[in-house]
Amino acid sequence: VIDAFAVPALTYHSERKKFLLRESVGLPKPRLFSNADSKGLLFQERYKLVHQRTMRHPLFSGADSLSRKGTFTIRPVEHLLGTAGGDTTVVVLGMITQLTEGKYHLEDTSGSIEVDLANASFTGGLFTENCFVLAEGRYDDGVFHAQTIGLPPAESGMATQKYFGSINFFGGTCERSAKLSTELRQAEEMHQDAMLVFLSDLWLDQHKVLEKLRVLFAGYSMMPPTCFVLCGNFLSRSTGHQDSRVLKECMGKLAGLVGEFPSLIEKSHFIFVPGPSDPGLPNILPRPGLPKAIMEEFCRQVPQTIRASNPCRIRYGTQEIVVFREDALAKACRNAVHLPWEQDSTVDLPKLYTKTLASNSHLVPLPLAVSPVYWDWDFALWLNPLPDVVVCADKHDAYAVHHSECLFFNPGSFPRSDFSFKVYLPASKTLEDSQISE
């Protein structure tokens, strides 16, 4: 398990066309409370991340508009600002922002320009403020009139890794990417019965939840899984300043429950990922694990316990898994610049939402006011390269979607979904729906 604050701090070097450690190019070490320059750098890094991948795509790799038939040329915003406009259609890669009330702008590292979305056709994603888009349209009289808005092309993790070689993007103890390790691959193949169990909204203050957990643990005690990934929130409602005390007592009860099954204590790991309402530091991402004082009794009784950050990363053999607990889908819908459900009430929102995550290579392509991020640690939220699995634990209904050889899934809220959860099988890279029936 890799803590968010242990992820390699990388930056894309445009001239050398490779990712380098930030310290090697003169950037300071990440800090929780950084200066104002870090906020601008955050968006520059996000732009470079998306831009370098887009420019490697066959549709955009032509040197100019005439170099290859069927390719497009991406123009920077400053190019438009320096022209008179007209009927020529251009393509811009930029971030949708609302710099002034009620007026959207497209912004890249060269500048910003007002964009008219009234007649735009939106294709293939959930478009939110602060997400990067490819906009095709005309520039006239200081305004970019968008005709089509789409997402930048996503890229499989394997394709990214092939291009950049053996660099370890994911973190951990390996100097090179674990994808290249034959030893890890062989170890992975030896454990065909491995299971990773994911639960979200584990409300430990509810007796019914503890009863269902006893049934779950009893069922797995005969064949213990590799790990239980338990995501918050761990309380059904806040009790104010008493939250820490209440949760500490609940963790003690959970420890006693797990203690009834010695095989789980011996063979399974218990990974706790805090939710947005759990006690501890403010809900700014990335968020450290649950406080040690709260987990002290559980860790004493269950030694193989990991207080993971939110988000955190799990490496199983050569497979890379990102776990993130945030009610992000609802936030994305509230901050969408286009509402696809108004045209089609049956629209598959999880599919659109996860496609936006894959295309933006980021877990929260949302305004910082909506989803606060420590500016210097934004890289811990990157999805570059795309991992094998992204767990988007959310109070939204459970779902599972594949994009660019990556599995995105939400285990669903354990108490709200009739005590359902998900089980990932690394050997076959498949996901099983599970439920504890009455």
Which pLDDT band, with edges at 50, 70 and 90, does 67 fall under? Answer: very low
Residue 275 DSSP code: -
Nearest-angstrom CA–CA distance, 272 and 275: 9
Share of the chain above pLDDT 90, in %: 89
CATH number at residue 227: 3.60.21.50
- Domain count of the chain? 1
Is the residue at 186 inside a domain? Answer: yes
**pLDDT tens digit sequence for 241-280:** 899 999 999 999 999 999 999 999 999 999 999 999 999 8
In the numeric block, the tokens 């584990």 are attached to 202
User: Does an H or E element contain 284, and which?
Assistant: none
Is the residue at 108 inside a domain? Answer: no
Under 8 Å CB-to-CB from 35, ≥6 apart: which residues? none
Share of the chain above pLDDT 70, in %: 98
Terminal CA-CA length for the chain:
34
Q: How many CB atoms are closer than 10 A to CB 235?
A: 22
pLDDT at 66: 44
Nearest-angstrom CA–CA distance, 220 and 156: 34
**Cα angle for residues 407, 108, 115 (degrees, 5° grid):** 95
pTM comes to 0.96
Under 8 Å CB-to-CB from 224, ≥6 apart: which residues? 263, 264, 266, 267, 268
Residue 322 DSSP code: E
pLDDT at 81: 87
Is the residue at 353 inside a domain? Answer: yes
Q: How many helices (H) and strands (E) does the chain have?
A: 10, 20
| Residue 56 reports pLDDT greater than 90 | yes
Residue 397 DSSP code: P
Q: How many CB atoms are closer than 10 A to CB 48?
A: 16
| Residue 91 reports pLDDT greater than 50 | yes
Is the residue at 385 inside a domain? Answer: yes
**407: containing domain:** 181-435
Is the residue at 331 inside a domain? Answer: yes
Nearest-angstrom CA–CA distance, 52 and 159: 13
Is the residue at 112 inside a domain? Answer: no
Task: Identify whether the C-beta of residue 204 lies closer than 8 Å to the C-beta of residue 414.
Answer: no
Q: Torsion-angle region of residue 171: left (phi > 0), alpha (psi -120 to 50) or beta?
A: left
Is the residue at 22 inside a domain? Answer: no
Is the residue at 121 inside a domain? Answer: no
